Structure 1
Amino acid sequence: MVRCIKLQKELPGLDEPPWPGELGQRVYENVSAEAWQLWEERMTMILNEYRLMPWQKEAQKIVAKAMDDFFFGEC
């Protein structure tokens, strides 16, 4: 169980960090599985809208920034 930073309630967490590095660890410790599903929908929209290829480094940087904003940004 985690106190989900996005949904502001105690919910089941993720099974493992979903992204490499520090950002993945922050998400793992602070984001619920339910909020992660919301992010996956948003990430798909971003990849399609900008026609990004997820295996490319530049696309990974864009996705990581969007993920950080989605979970930990001011909004």
Structure 2
Amino acid sequence: MPSITCARCGHDREQLARPPLPGDLGTRIFASICDVCWKEWLRQQTAVINHYGLNLLDPKAKQFLTKQTEAFLFGETPV
């Protein structure tokens, strides 16, 4: 697999096999986040879902989780 310079960790690492999410965010993650950091996010995502008791059928919960994803991977402040 090709390697990329990860926007989160700054290392040259293996790129994801495919965009992990649909839409623009998935494309952005695929283009700039390494496999290692994505796996770290998946572990953190589980902790966030459990901590906040998120119901991912709720659009507000999905929006909250998307903001947390952007904050974790790209250092963007969640609103």
Q: Output the TM-score relative to the length of structure 2.
A: 0.85
Q: Which residue is 2:7 aligned to? A: 5
Distance in structure 1 (CA, Å) of the matches to 2:27 and 2:58:
21
Is the 2:70–2:76 contact (alpha carbons within 8 Å) kept by the matching residues of 1?
A: no
What value does the CA root-mean-square deviation take over the aligned residues? 1.5
Distance in structure 1 (CA, Å) of the matches to 2:57 and 2:4:
30
SS of corresponding position for 1:2: strand
SS of corresponding position for 1:62: helix
**In the alignment, is residue 38 of structure 1 matched against residue 28 of structure 2?**
no
In terms of Rg, which structure is larger?
2
Distance in structure 1 (CA, Å) of the matches to 2:29 and 2:76:
16
Q: Percent identity over the alignment?
A: 28
Q: Once superposed, which parts of structure 1, at least 4 consecutive aligned residues long, lie more than 6 Å away? A: none
Q: Which runs of no fewer than 5 residues in structure 2 stay unpaired?
A: none
Deviation of 1:57 after TM superposition, in Å, equals: 1.9
Distance in structure 1 (CA, Å) of the matches to 2:35 and 2:57:
23
1:66 to 65, 68, 71: 68
Distance in structure 1 (CA, Å) of the matches to 2:27 and 2:18:
9
Aligned residues: 75
SS of corresponding position for 1:11: strand
